[in-house]
Amino acid sequence: MSAPTRRYEDAVARYFEAWNAAPDAVAKAVASAWTEDGGYTDPLADVRGHEQIAAVVAAAREQFPGFSFRLSGAVDGHHDTARFSWELVSEADGSAPVAGFDVIALDGEDRIRSVFGFLDRVPAGA
């Protein structure tokens, strides 16, 4: 695996650590993955900074208890940008009612400056 590929995969792994962190560990995981002024934008949120990003993560986890986010496919990247697909998977039955893909921009220390998320599959009423 090349160093650039590892860079993107490591950043995405920290991203998923934040999304899957226990409630008392979300803030620390977000701080590890994002720059202080980092942003997160998807069709349902547009926030900046660790506190607001952690609030979005916590809200998603509350809306989908018993689910975890996982990578779906390979991470692809160039320069300071990477893209990847993901699924929100039920720990009980393995179903994945929510799926999408994200594009992240990294800083020089491989922390996330911005995320642009797209939702490909969302259950009715979610």
pLDDT tens, position by position, 95-118:
999 999 999 999 999 999 999 999
CA atoms within 13 A on the CB side of 49: 2
Residue 1 has pLDDT above 70, yes or no: no
Task: Say if residue 8's pLDDT is above 60.
Answer: yes
Confidence of residue 3 (pLDDT cuts 50, 70, 90): low
pTM above 0.75, yes or no: yes
Q: What is the mean pLDDT of residues 6-33?
A: 97
Please give the pLDDT value at position 35: 98
Mean pLDDT estimate for the chain: 95
User: Is the confidence at residue 126, as pLDDT, over 70?
Assistant: no
Confidence band (pLDDT; 50, 70, 90) for 2? low
